[in-house]
Amino acid sequence: MSARAPLVIVGASYAGTQLAATARELGFDAPIILLGEEGHAPYQRPPLSKGLLTGQTSVDALALRGPGFFADQAIDLQLGRRAKALDAAARTLTLDDGSTLGYGWLALATGARCRALPVPGTDLDGVYNLRTLDDALRISDALAQATRACVIGGGFIGLEVASALAARGASVTVVESQPRLLARSFPPLMSDYLAGAHRQRGVEVVLGRGVRALSGDAGRVRHVELDDGSRIACDMVVLGIGVQPNIELALEAGIACDNGILTDALGRTSAPQVIAVGDVANTLLPAVPGCPLRLRLESIQAANDGARAAASALAGTPQPFEGVPWFWSDQHKLKLQMAGLPMPGDQAVVRGEMQSDRFSLFYLRGGVMVAAHSVNRPAEHMLSRKLIAAGARIDPQQLQDESVDLKSTRSSP
On whether the CB atoms of residues 336 and 311 are closer than 8 A, the answer is no
Per-residue pLDDT, 231: 97
Q: What is the pLDDT of residues 3-56, one digit of tens each?
A: 589 999 999 999 999 999 999 999 999 999 999 999 999 999 999 998 999 889
321 pLDDT band (50/70/90 cuts)? confident
Has residue 353 got a pLDDT over 50?
A: yes
Can you tell me the mean pLDDT for 81-101? Answer: 97
Task: Quote the DSSP letter at residue 285.
Answer: P
Is the pTM here over 0.95, yes or no? Answer: no
Per-residue pLDDT, 322: 75
Q: Is 301 exposed, middle or buried (0-12, 13-18, 19+ CB in 10 A)?
A: middle
Per-residue pLDDT, 303: 93
Q: What is the pLDDT of residues 377-387, one digit of tens each?
A: 999 999 999 99
Per-residue pLDDT, 271: 98
- Cα 177-247-104 angle, rounded to 5 deg: 155
Identify which of 119, 111, 245, 259 has the alpha carbon closest to the alpha carbon of residue 175.
119
Per-residue pLDDT, 412: 45
411 pLDDT band (50/70/90 cuts)? low
Per-residue pLDDT, 26: 97
Residues of the chain above pLDDT 70, percent:
96
Can you tell me the mean pLDDT for 385-410? Answer: 87
Per-residue pLDDT, 99: 96
Radius of gyration (Cα) for the chain, nearest Å? 22
285 pLDDT band (50/70/90 cuts)? confident
Cα–Cα distance, 379 to 377 (Å, whole number)? 6
